[in-house]
Structure 1
Amino acid sequence: MSDTLPPCPRCASGYTYELDALLVCPECAHEWNAEQDETQESKSTVVKDAVGNVLQDGDTVSITKTMKVKGAQGTLKAGMKARNIRLMPENGDHDIAAKVDGFGQLELKSSIVKKV
């Protein structure tokens, strides 16, 4: 039966089985729709900055507005730069992980950054 079913997209296990309209992996408990190709779905997610530029991993961005950060002593000021960003579209609103110069590692919203 597993000869005709695709392997799990998360762990590549070949022991997938059908459960109604879903495919299930017994090793990692991942469930997905047999009709959709998850790899295409994750690649189609586009993250844009505050002015509409498409962001990619490794880009440099600058902060567009000053704001307070919970648990931090200082404020995140407009114009501060974050280099070598990492996109995390599955992480909800805070879809960018970056190290901000003079501040440290943060997760940012794409709506408050501008590509440099």
Structure 2
Amino acid sequence: MSEHSRCPQCSLDNTYQDGALWVCADCGHEWNPEEAAAEAAVVVRDCNGNVLAAGDTVVVIKDLKVKGSSIPLKQGTVIRNIRLVEDDPEHIEGNSDKIKGLVLRTEFLRKA
């Protein structure tokens, strides 16, 4: 069974290939596997649903305990020049003024 045999819309396996497209016999959805792979690229979003990109600035929305440090990350702390974690839309890397090398969950961040 091919990796493209599952319908991306209804997730059923009743699909067939028609030329360059795949067609779902159950819901009628048609898709091109190359375009579907490009659309499936990892999109990182903050707590409000805004798309984050490498180099953005984010703000911490609640106090966070930091493992390995006695200094908590306070609400309102600015993290500049973030880096995205490859293949993980829930985490970003960045540095605050006091703590370097942070890996933070995006659910606790908002875009500045």
What TM-score range do you get, normalising by the shorter chain? 0.5 to 0.7
Residue in 1 aligned with 2:29? Answer: none
The structural deviation recorded for 1:68 is 1.0
Residue in 2 aligned with 1:111? Answer: 107
The structural deviation recorded for 1:81 is 0.7
Q: How many residues of Structure 1 are paired with residues of Structure 2 in the alignment?
A: 83
Gaps of 5+ in 1: 1-19, 23-35
Q: Map residues 1-40 of structure 1 onto 2, 5 A cutoff.
A: 40=38
Match of 2:80 among 75, 79, 83: 83
Overall identity of the aligned pairs, in %: 37
Rounded to whole Å, the distance in 1 between the matches of 2:83 and 2:43 is 13
Residue in 1 aligned with 2:60? Answer: 63
* C-alpha contact (below 8 Å) 1:60/1:82 kept by paired residues: yes
Compute the TM-score of the two structures, normalised by the length of structure 2.
Answer: 0.62
Residue in 1 aligned with 2:21? Answer: none
Gaps of 5+ in 2: 4-32
What are the superposed Cα offsets for residues 50-87 of structure 1, whole Å, 9 maximum, x if unpaired?
11111011000010000211211110111111111011
Residue in 2 aligned with 1:47? Answer: 44
Compute the TM-score of the two structures, normalised by the length of structure 1.
Answer: 0.60
Segments ≥4 residues shifted beyond 6 Å: none
Match of 2:95 among 57, 78, 99: 99
The structural deviation recorded for 1:110 is 0.6
* C-alpha contact (below 8 Å) 1:47/1:89 kept by paired residues: no
After alignment, is 99-108 or 51-60 more displaced? 99-108
Q: CA RMSD in A?
A: 2.3
